[in-house]
Structure 1
Amino acid sequence: MTEALEFELVFGIPEDAFDPYLLSDAVFAAGFEDALVGTGIPGLLAVELEVDGGDGEHAILDAARRLLATLPRGTRLREVRPDLVSLADVAERLSVTRQSLQQRRMPPPTQGGLYRIDEIAQVLAEAMQPVEGRRRPRLNVERAANWLRAGPPARRINARLALNEIDPQTVEPVGERGVRASSTRDQGAS
């Protein structure tokens, strides 16, 4: 069963290749005509996507590979979002105010007021369970479901990027010695 995932890929673009118009064209050339493209910070490209995928990590990495194939040489995947989120981010997705979330039991923040998205998702799932004698909270969890679903695979990919287990230029697994691990397709081609 495939479920939609809503996430953002953030790429580092080589300084000499940072042309917002060409970058937007490259995103669309990769087949993501509905993507939201952010080029407001020189050297960074943010691409917000909604894709269908059975395995979240595979779907996100596949989207990153497709984009890297059309983006300028030397482009690197920097991070996948959502991973660490603010209460304002969560509130916007749930169609509530940040203050209403502050009145609820929330997991402890990890750093600088940011929360792990998978912990937020767990708290929201618990809050939506019916409790006799209580009203269900007015949280639009359905609206945020695709975004919340993308959180755990985004965190795993970011961890693998940080540990150099994924090459940020190819988004392929890296072997123990820092060399891209050979796939069966690569071995068959030699």
Structure 2
Amino acid sequence: MEYTFTLKYQIVEPGTDLDELVERLGACGCDDALVGIGLPGRIALEFTREANSAKAAVVSALADVKQAIPTAKLIEAAPDLVGLTDVADVIGVSRQNMRKLMLSHATSFPTPVHEGSASVWHLAEVMAWLQARGAYEVDTSTLEVAQTTMQVNLAKEAEVRRLRPEMRRELRPLFA
């Protein structure tokens, strides 16, 4: 199965030759990723990776990047942190529909990671909530990727209270 996800990194090597960096990534197995080098000191890799599971796809991509750029620091694995517009796009409904759902189910709708003028949720939690309601078609591949990227980001942030032990053991060595 193919899984699509993005890994965003900070490049900590000053004066890194970006063309050489892209070559190293390709040589280390990241030839299934589109590489974005638009922001100074940052690199984003959008993978479309074949694997038996989303976890296998994401973990292997993390390992490949770590091999190619050992000093790179993971910023974020996506899709994970999203606003209502992002969720609406993934599910195929309007933002207004998502906002109405959130407001009318305030006690059961997933709690945002950040609440403010722009609130942010874990995509996996909102998708699982929508799936449990049964009224919305949730793409299981996207849900599996979102669950995996959420675990990666939680591991990165060391929120061990929500992180499954097997993911913590497997992911910790992959972070700079």
Normalization by structure 1: what TM-score? Answer: 0.66
| Counterparts of 2:154 and 2:100, CA distance in 1 | 31
Tell whether the 8 Å contact from 1:30 to 1:67 is kept in structure 2 after alignment: yes
Q: Secondary structure of the equivalent of 1:119?
A: helix
Q: How many residues align?
A: 155
Instruction: Give matches, 1:83-102, under 5 Å.
Output: 83-102=80-99
Q: Secondary structure of the equivalent of 1:16?
A: coil
Which residue of the partner structure matches residue 5 of structure 1?
3
Instruction: Give matches, 1:49-64, under 5 Å.
Output: 49-64=47-62
Q: Gaps spanning 5+ residues in structure 2: where?
A: 103-108, 161-167
1:47 Cα deviation after fit: 0.9
1:122 Cα deviation after fit: 1.2
1:74 Cα deviation after fit: 1.9
Cα-to-partner distance string for 1:47-92 (whole Å, 9 max, x where unaligned): 1112233343343121111122223x52232332222211122222
Q: Secondary structure of the equivalent of 1:104?
A: helix
Tell whether the 8 Å contact from 1:26 to 1:67 is kept in structure 2 after alignment: no
Which residue of the partner structure matches residue 184 of structure 1?
none
Aligned with residue 125 of structure 1, among 128, 131, 134:
131
Tell whether the 8 Å contact from 2:30 to 2:64 is kept in structure 1 after alignment: no
Q: Secondary structure of the equivalent of 1:74?
A: coil
Q: Gaps spanning 5+ residues in structure 1: where?
A: 130-135, 170-190
Q: Percent identity?
A: 26
Q: Secondary structure of the equivalent of 1:41?
A: coil
| Counterparts of 1:50 and 1:67, CA distance in 2 | 14
1:151 Cα deviation after fit: 1.6
1:9 Cα deviation after fit: 1.0
Whichever residue aligns with residue 37 of structure 2, its letter is: T
Give the root-mean-square deviation of aligned CA atoms.
2.7
Instruction: Give matches, 1:1-190, under 5 Å.
Output: 3-71=1-69, 73-105=70-102, 106-112=109-115, 113-127=119-133, 129=134, 141-142=138-139, 145-163=140-158, 166-167=172-173, 168-169=175-176
Tell whether the 8 Å contact from 1:57 to 1:157 is kept in structure 2 after alignment: no
| Counterparts of 1:62 and 1:151, CA distance in 2 | 16
Normalization by structure 2: what TM-score? Answer: 0.70
1:150 Cα deviation after fit: 1.0
